């Protein structure tokens, strides 16, 4: 089967599954709504902050506060794109139709990543502009230094989270197992490792902590992170590449 036909087939699969559409919609709504709420709260609390907190205040990053929950929906999207075929047994039919496993996997990844990128970018820009409107006099402008990079970075971050989840789901072949590992990892373990002083230096190299650096414009006082925004995104990309490579190698070596 030609690569263009495989891409069309994967697009049809993703579009026809209601759960994948709903998870993308949920990712956008949660990210935007929570970002507005946190921005409003931050505006009201700004005058009560200490001097260091005010100097570290990053209005752009505040508008992305909803990303912490929105990314969970992107994880579900990434897992379902791959895992649905394994859970229903359709993977056997798919691999029989497209025996070239690299073509099969990376066509699926390309279509899903493209969709995640569109949703991620739209979500990031809306979250920024509505968040800044909520912040009022404490807001940033899209023309300020580093702000456009951070907003575009927000869309890239959401996309990479989804693609990383696809790689993990390909390795594990089970939606439940994939979600059972990824959800606690991003929602609990990563945050705990990043908050505890003994493990903080390890936590900063995890995909979400490194990748989220791209959304920061103001460096917090006392932050000794040894990489900048693009360095953090590069670390996240390495995690994504490793997950995809692992998924491809396992898909190539084993039966469906």
Given pLDDT bands bounded at 50, 70 and 90, which one contains residue 77? very high
pLDDT at site 5: 84
Side-chain-facing half-sphere of 81: CA atoms under 13 Å: 35
DSSP of 71-112, one letter per residue? HHHHHHHHHHHHHHHHHHTHHHHHHHH---HHHHHHHHHHHH
- pLDDT tens-digit series, residues 82-140: 887 877 777 777 777 777 888 888 889 999 999 999 999 999 999 999 999 999 999 99
pLDDT digits (tens, 9 = 90+) for 13-70: 887 777 888 999 999 999 999 999 999 999 998 888 888 888 889 999 999 999 989 9
Task: Parse the chain into domains and list their residue ranges.
Answer: 3-253
Model-wide pTM > 0.85? yes
* Mean pLDDT score across all residues of the chain: 90
What are the Cα distances from residue 8, in Å, to 36, 104, 208? 37, 11, 31
> Taking Cα atoms as reference points, which of 70, 241, 47, 245 lies closest to residue 155?
70
Residue range 142-185, pLDDT digits in tens: 999 999 999 999 999 999 999 999 999 999 988 999 999 999 99
Q: What integer pLDDT is reported at residue 38 of this predicted model?
A: 96
């Amino acid at each position: 089967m030609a690569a263009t036909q495989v891409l069309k087939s994967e697009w049809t699969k993703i579009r026809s599954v209601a759960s994948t559409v709903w998870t993308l919609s949920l990712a956008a709504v949660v990210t935007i709504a929570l970002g507005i709420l946190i921005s409003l709260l931050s505006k009201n609390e700004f005058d009560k902050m200490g001097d260091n907190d005010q100097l570290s205040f990053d209005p752009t990053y505040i508008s992305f506060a909803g990303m912490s929950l929105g990314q969970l929906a992107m994880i579900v999207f990434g897992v379902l794109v791959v895992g649905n075929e394994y859970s229903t047994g359709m993977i056997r039919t798919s691999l029989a139709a497209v025996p070239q496993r690299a073509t099969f996997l990376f066509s699926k990844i390309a279509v899903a990543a493209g969709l995640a990128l569109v949703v991620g970018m739209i979500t990031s820009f809306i979250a920024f502009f509505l968040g800044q409107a909520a912040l009022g006099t404490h807001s940033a402008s899209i023309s300020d230094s580093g702000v456009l990079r951070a907003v575009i970075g927000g869309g890239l971050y959401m996309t990479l989270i989804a693609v990383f989840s696809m790689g993990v789901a390909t390795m594990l072949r089970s939606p439940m197992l994939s979600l059972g590992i990824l959800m606690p990892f991003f929602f609990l373990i990563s945050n705990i490792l990043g908050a505890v002083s003994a493990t903080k230096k390890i936590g900063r190299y995890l995909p979400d902590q490194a990748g989220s650096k791209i959304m920061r414009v103001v460096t917090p006082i006392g932050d000794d992170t040894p990489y900048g925004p693009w360095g953090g995104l590069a670390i996240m990309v390495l995690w994504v590449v490793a997950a995809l490579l692992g998924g491809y190698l396992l898909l190539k070596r084993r039966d469906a």
